[in-house]
Amino acid sequence: MADLNPDHEQDVPVPSALFGFRDTAPGAFVAPPVASVVAAGARRRQRRTVVAAAALSLVVLGGVGGVVNAARSGPDQLPTGVTPSPVAPTPFPTPSRGPSVPPTLTPTVTPTTKPSSVPPSASTRPPLTVVPPAAMLALTDLETGYRVAPEDAPGTGDWMMSYWTQYCAAASTLPATAGISRRDRSFLKGEGETADAVYQRVELEPLASQQLEHWRQWATRCAKRGTLTVTILDSGFAGDGSLMVKVSNLDGGVEYGGTYVLVRVGDLITEIAGRHSGERDVAVKAAQRLCAIAGSC
């Protein structure tokens, strides 16, 4: 590096051009001392160094200020020529309501078609034309000890509630019936006239609803007629309609009679009578059989 404070006694080379200018210059030219020429050159070098340092400082400060301003105003305000580095956005965490549970994959199961054990509804089955045997009571519906009686067995004659209309015939007129189909069945327990008995008749009758209402009115109007007493024991306990009636008659000092149950399901109506206990339970089982045949209730 050049010595900015040269020794005045140091030998400094003088360019030959100065001597030529000295010889040809007009007037009496006196050459400046060598020391002053060297000092002037040193001052010029010092000024150039200061100017260069100042310029470098402005460039550095300008770059830093541009970056700071760009940081304050956003990436769109960066100085020209400065490309922002791509930074992946930081996603906001999703609030969780509970511990994270991995989803459970449910295997797809193809259902297999199985034959249905449920009987078809009334809308999908053909209309009845006869009373089927399945509509009748069975031995499993009764207490143990009963047997199915033949049609001509003693005590299986005229047991219907209509028998008592001879004692109270003026109360009501039975509506005309279509009588599409009818089936009877009797059960006996024991021997002779004193044997327990269950008698059943099932009819396929479009006027079944009117028939049930007829017997309800008859039992009400004939509650006490002469020696006849009719009592309604229960009503509306099975099927689409039901009625349980006790009839007794005093003839010559002897009382006799029985309990009668009527149950209707659609166009099917059954009448159950006899000398037995548990009449209501038997009637409920009879209604269940009619419901299975009719496909309702």
The CATH number of residue 138's host domain is: 3.40.1000
Neighbours of 66 (CB within 10 A): 16
- What does the angle CA 293 – CA 132 – CA 296 come to, to the nearest 5 degrees? 10
Q: What are φ and ψ of residue 65, in 5° steps?
A: -65, -40
Q: Which of 179 and 209 is assigned the larger pLDDT?
A: 209
Q: Same structural domain for residues 280 and 154?
A: yes
Would the CA dihedral through 240, 204, 288, 293 be positive or negative? Answer: negative
Whether pLDDT at 285 is above 90: yes
* pTM, 2 dp: 0.57
Q: Which of 269 and 7 is assigned the larger pLDDT?
A: 269
pLDDT at position 264 is 97
Residue 252, domain extent: 133-294
For residue 109, tell me if it sits in a domain: no
Q: What is the pLDDT of residues 78-107, one digit of tens each?
A: 445 545 455 444 444 444 454 444 555 555
134-to-147, 229, 250, 257, 264 alpha-carbon distances in Å: 17, 35, 38, 29, 16
For residue 99, tell me if it sits in a domain: no
For residue 67, tell me if it sits in a domain: yes
Residue 177: CA count within 13 A, CB half-sphere = 18
Q: What is the pLDDT of residues 260-275, one digit of tens each?
A: 999 999 999 999 998 8
Fill in the amino acid letter for 293.
I
pLDDT at position 169 is 79
Of 5-19, 112-126, 155-169, minimum mean pLDDT range: 5-19
Last residue of a domain, one of 37, 56, 77: 77
Strands (E), the chain: 147-148, 181-189, 196-204, 224-225, 228-235, 241-251, 254-265, 268-275
Q: What is the pLDDT of residues 96-153, one digit of tens each?
A: 454 444 555 555 555 454 444 455 555 567 888 899 999 999 999 999 999 998 875 5
The dihedral formed by the CA atoms of 70, 72, 75 and 79, expressed in degrees to the nearest 10: -10
Q: Same structural domain for residues 69 and 176?
A: no
Residues facing 244 on adjacent strands: 234, 261
Q: Which of 158-162, 186-190, 232-236, 271-275 has the highest mean pLDDT?
A: 232-236
Whether pLDDT at 4 is above 70: no
Q: What is the pLDDT of residues 197-230, one digit of tens each?
A: 899 999 999 999 999 999 999 999 999 999 999 9
Q: How many domains does the chain have?
A: 2
Q: Same structural domain for residues 157 and 33?
A: no
